[in-house]
């Protein structure tokens, strides 16, 4: 069944006003009177809804659904700006895997450098990618996307997290394989977790020092060296296994 995110709160009768949503529902999917979809409102609660007027884009609420697929913790994925369209792929896949927020910043060894105007356009594009992926994967929320123009602005946010994991290539090369598993065993529900990943060139020694001063923990992601666009998938899968699959 199709799922859509809509602004506002659930009411008995609502009118869809977002142009992109209207186009997809009534032009692409050709929804007609009597068809049912799932609507997710700003509170993250899903509702079964039925089309009552395709011409007026109106739907009535049928029932609230007890369906919550979110991770038990809020995981923010933060990547140093990667090259090309890699951030598009990262955004789509970490949304499917349960990320709460998606951040990117100009790391010391990032080749890419975007100014404010380009960042705004990129952020808009990534937000749409996150929305589509959240609908496809039946999420209860759409991850918030933030691109930082300055690395110091990103660093200023580190104090807001309960745990900070830094995926460091040198740690993996040294054969460290247990820290992530050990730390995940201490995580409790509703904690805010930040996972930091470097760009293609990795994380610089200066950045490692800064992240550690903020409480960051160096972790290896298995015995193999992962690409910058692959590492976030490994991290979120590990979190899901530790907190969802083995604790039910």
3-state helix, strand, coil in the chain (%, to 5): 35, 25, 40
Question: In this structure, are residues 108 and 81 in contact, taking their beta carbons and an 8 Å threshold?
Answer: no
- Residue from 24, 14, 23 nearest 53 by CA: 14
Per-residue model confidence (pLDDT) at position 170: 73
The Cα diameter of the chain in Å comes to 62
Per-residue model confidence (pLDDT) at position 6: 94
Q: Which letter, b or e, does each residue of 121-145 get, where b requires 16 or more Cβ atoms within 10 Å of its Cβ?
A: ebbeebbebbbbbbbeeebbbbbeb
pTM for the model stands at 0.92
Q: What are the tens digits of pLDDT across the range 70-93?
A: 999 999 999 999 999 999 999 999
| Class of the CATH-defined domain 3-65 | mainly beta
Q: Which letter, b or e, does each residue of 42-65 get, where b requires 16 or more Cβ atoms within 10 Å of its Cβ?
A: eeebbbbbebeebeebbbebeeee
pLDDT band per the 50, 70, 90 thresholds, residue 216: very high
Per-residue model confidence (pLDDT) at position 174: 56
Indicate the domain borders of the chain: 3-65, 74-245
Q: What are the tens digits of pLDDT across the range 89-118?
A: 999 999 999 999 999 999 999 998 888 889
Instruction: State the average pLDDT for the chain.
Output: 94
Per-residue model confidence (pLDDT) at position 238: 95
**Which tokens go with 106?**
């100009």
Q: Which backbone phi and psi does 97 adopt, to 5 degrees?
A: -90, -5
Candidates 3.40.1280.10, 3.90.199.10, 3.30.390.50, 1.20.1250.20; CATH matching 74-245: 3.40.1280.10
Q: What are the tens digits of pLDDT across the range 45-68?
A: 999 999 999 999 999 999 999 999
Q: What are the tens digits of pLDDT across the range 149-206?
A: 999 999 999 999 999 999 987 766 555 668 899 999 999 999 999 999 999 989 999 9
Secondary structure of 88-142 in the HEC alphabet? HHHHHHHHHCCCCEEEEECCCCCCCCCCHHHHHHHHHHHHHHHHHHHHHCCCCCC
């Amino acid at each position: 069944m199709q799922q859509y995110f809509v602004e506002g709160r659930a009411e008995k009768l609502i009118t869809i006003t977002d142009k992109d949503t209207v186009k997809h529902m009534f032009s692409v999917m050709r929804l007609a009177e009597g068809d049912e979809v799932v609507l997710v409102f700003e509170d993250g609660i899903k509702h079964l809804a039925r089309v009552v007027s395709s011409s007026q884009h109106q739907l009535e609420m049928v029932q609230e659904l007890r369906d919550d697929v979110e991770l038990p913790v809020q995981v923010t994925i933060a990547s140093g700006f990667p090259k090309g369209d890699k951030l598009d792929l990262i955004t789509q896949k970490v949304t499917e895997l349960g990320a709460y927020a998606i951040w990117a910043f100009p790391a010391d060894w990032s080749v890419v450098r975007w100014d404010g105007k380009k960042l705004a356009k990129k952020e808009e594009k990534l937000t749409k990618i996150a929305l589509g992926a959240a609908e496809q994967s039946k999420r209860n929320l759409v991850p918030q996307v933030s691109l930082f123009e300055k690395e110091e602005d990103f660093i200023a946010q580190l104090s807001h997290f309960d745990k900070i994991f830094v995926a460091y290539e040198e740690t993996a090369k040294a054969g460290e394989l247990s820290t992530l598993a050990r730390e995940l065993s201490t995580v409790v529900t509703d904690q805010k977790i930040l996972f930091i990943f470097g760009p293609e060139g990795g994380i610089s020694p200066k950045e490692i020092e800064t992240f550690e001063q903020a409480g960051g923990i160096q972790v290896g992601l298995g015995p193999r060296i992962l690409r910058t666009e692959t590492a976030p998938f490994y991290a979120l899968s590990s979190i899901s296994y530790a907190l969802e699959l083995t604790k039910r």
